[in-house]
Amino acid sequence: MDVWQSPIAPGISWYQATLTERPTYPALDGSKSIDVAIIGGGYTGLQAAYNLAKAGISVALIEASRFGDGASGRNGGQMGTGQRWWPEDLEKEIGYERSKALFDMAENAKRHLLDFAEVHGIDMEYMPGQMNVSHKRGHEKDYRATAEIAAERYGYPHISFMDGQETAERLGTKDYYCGVRDTGTGHIHPLKLLVGLARAAQAAGAQIFEMTRATGIEKTRNGPGGKILVRTPSGTLTADRVLIATNAYIGDLEPVTSAHIMPIGSFIAATAPLDDFPDVLPGGEAVADSRFVVRYFRKSRDNRLLFGGREVYTSSNPADTANAIRKQIVDTYPALKDVEITHAWGGNVGITLPRQPFVREVMPGVTSIGGYSGHGVMLSNYCGKLYADMVGGRATDLDHLAALKIPAFPGGRHMRSPLLFLALTWFALRDRL
């Protein structure tokens, strides 16, 4: 199979390199009238397209590049549990009832994803287990409490506390002081899921187009009977409703979304298979650490280490990415200092100021969903489905997300990147102290 370099994200991923098939889809050519137009072909958009089509609602989706060229085909594959925040922290902000509703929603999202893959026969290389570990001393009490609270207050008995010794044994490094292990979730090959999802959307009757960038969204006329027009260089979509599912890749398409979702580069490197290093993650779990500039890593099914981290600078050169990630790998696993790095790639994570998802009607009939803040593998799939349910007239869990207060980033589009650079540099320094 030809190896495809995403034009919107750096490097060829190990995911891309291990696919045996990645079908291409045509570009939009001409004008179409449908019930719902979707902009963006990642998990959010394609799940919405699949579920709308399945419900008999006519839908067309356009993707600027190829499906999965954004975050959905290039991420760390960690499903996690709950929202991006620990439920007890969310509880302090929004109260127990709403925090519990969001936790339950994320559990529904997890089930939805696993069921979806099973029903459609998608081998997304699911591997069980996820650990969250502390790189600083003195967090034992909090981590212990997290496990207890999950079981007692959130009805989730799958998280257990790990002391320093257990953490070292399960990770194969002494770099962390303690952690929690979650046996109720796992990690996946994200691009295999995405390829299967696009196929399912088309089979359900969604019209899906690649290499078709939306260049404008406008109302044809205000009031009842008004339609929404989505412009592209090769045609238009006219619809009653539009879903913006562009996440971190929104650019200048729609100002409310771009004021609330900021792109932040995240990078991953894959090593050669670690057959000579049986101590590294012997249980095959995924790991996310407590650094603000988080390190996340896991084993692949073929025994590689896929190691991810953010960088304060953005380079589009895979060799730079490989070198930067190698330093983090060696920092965590000194024994891997000479290991070969076979692939290095990056992508944009869409973050919001409070690190909670952004769900909003940004114009009449136009809904924007994204900003999962590094926790979107299961949530984006589920939000796409919930959007379809909402269009079909059903009350959904999406309301819990829509009720979250997500302020715009200060400083507007031009100031926010320099501000983010300063903030990340500062937090990266703090991580080292």
Of the residues 247, 257, 300, 396, which one makes contact with ligand FAD according to CB under 6 A: 247
Using CB under 6 A as the binding rule, whether residue 309 contacts ligand FAD is answered as no
Q: What is the dihedral of CA 208, 253, 215, 30, to 10 degrees?
A: 30
- Stretch binding ligand FAD (CB under 6 A), from 107-115, 131-139, 241-249, 272-280: 241-249
Using CB under 6 A as the binding rule, whether residue 246 contacts ligand FAD is answered as yes
- Stretch binding ligand FAD (CB under 6 A), from 37-45, 100-108, 158-166, 276-284: 37-45
Of the residues 19, 36, 63, 388, which one makes contact with ligand FAD according to CB under 6 A: 63
Q: Which is nearer to ligand FAD, 377 or 388 (CB)?
A: 377
Q: Are 53 and 205 in contact (CB under 8 A)?
A: yes
Of the residues 44, 130, 146, 290, which one makes contact with ligand FAD according to CB under 6 A: 44
> Closest separation between CB of residue 84 and ligand FAD, Å?
8
Site residues (CB under 6 A) for ligand FAD, limited to 366-405: 370, 372, 374-377, 380
Using CB under 6 A as the binding rule, whether residue 192 contacts ligand FAD is answered as no
Using CB under 6 A as the binding rule, whether residue 347 contacts ligand FAD is answered as yes
Q: Mark residues 82-121: x for contact with ligand FAD by CB under 6 A, - for none.
A: ----------------------------------------
Using CB under 6 A as the binding rule, whether residue 271 contacts ligand FAD is answered as no
CA atoms 131, 343, 303, 186: torsion sign:
positive
Of the residues 25, 296, 297, 387, which one makes contact with ligand FAD according to CB under 6 A: 296
Of the residues 38, 60, 64, 312, which one makes contact with ligand FAD according to CB under 6 A: 64
- Stretch binding ligand FAD (CB under 6 A), from 23-31, 56-64, 167-175, 360-368: 56-64
Of the residues 266, 321, 328, 352, which one makes contact with ligand FAD according to CB under 6 A: 266
> Closest separation between CB of residue 153 and ligand FAD, Å?
23
Of the residues 19, 36, 39, 109, which one makes contact with ligand FAD according to CB under 6 A: 39
Using CB under 6 A as the binding rule, whether residue 253 contacts ligand FAD is answered as yes
Using CB under 6 A as the binding rule, whether residue 6 contacts ligand FAD is answered as no
Q: Which is nearer to ligand FAD, 308 or 318 (CB)?
A: 308
- From 188, 195, 193, select the one nearest 1 (Cα to Cα): 195
Q: Which is nearer to ligand FAD, 164 or 184 (CB)?
A: 184
Of the residues 10, 11, 40, 87, which one makes contact with ligand FAD according to CB under 6 A: 40
Q: What's the CA gap between 343 and 341, in Å, rounded?
A: 6
Using CB under 6 A as the binding rule, whether residue 32 contacts ligand FAD is answered as no
3-state secondary structure the chain: CCCCCCCCCCCCCHHHHCCCCCCCCCCCCEEEECCEEEECCCHHHHHHHHHHHHCCCCEEEECCCCCCCCHHHCCCCECCCCCCCCHHHHHHHHCHHHHHHHHHHHHHHHHHHHHHHHHCCCCCCCEEEEEEEECCCCCHHHHHHHHHHHHHHHCCCCEEEECHHHHHHHHCCCCCCEEEEEEEEEECCHHHHHHHHHHHHHHHCCEEECCCCCCEEEECCCCCCCCEEEEECCEEEEECEEEECCHHHCCCCCHHHHHHCEEEEEEEEEECCCCCCCCCCCCCCEEEECCCCCEEEEECCCCCEEEEEECCCCCCCHHHHHHHHHHHHHHHCHHHCCCCEEEEEEEEEEECCCCCCEEEEEECCEEEEECCCCCHHHHHHHHHHHHHHHHCCCCCCHHHHHCCCCCCCCCHHHHHHHHHHHHHHHHHHHHHC
Using CB under 6 A as the binding rule, whether residue 69 contacts ligand FAD is answered as yes
Q: Would you tell me which residues interact with ligand FAD (CB under 6 A)?
A: 8, 39-45, 62-65, 69-72, 74-78, 80, 213-214, 245-251, 253, 266, 268, 296, 308, 346-349, 370, 372, 374-377, 380
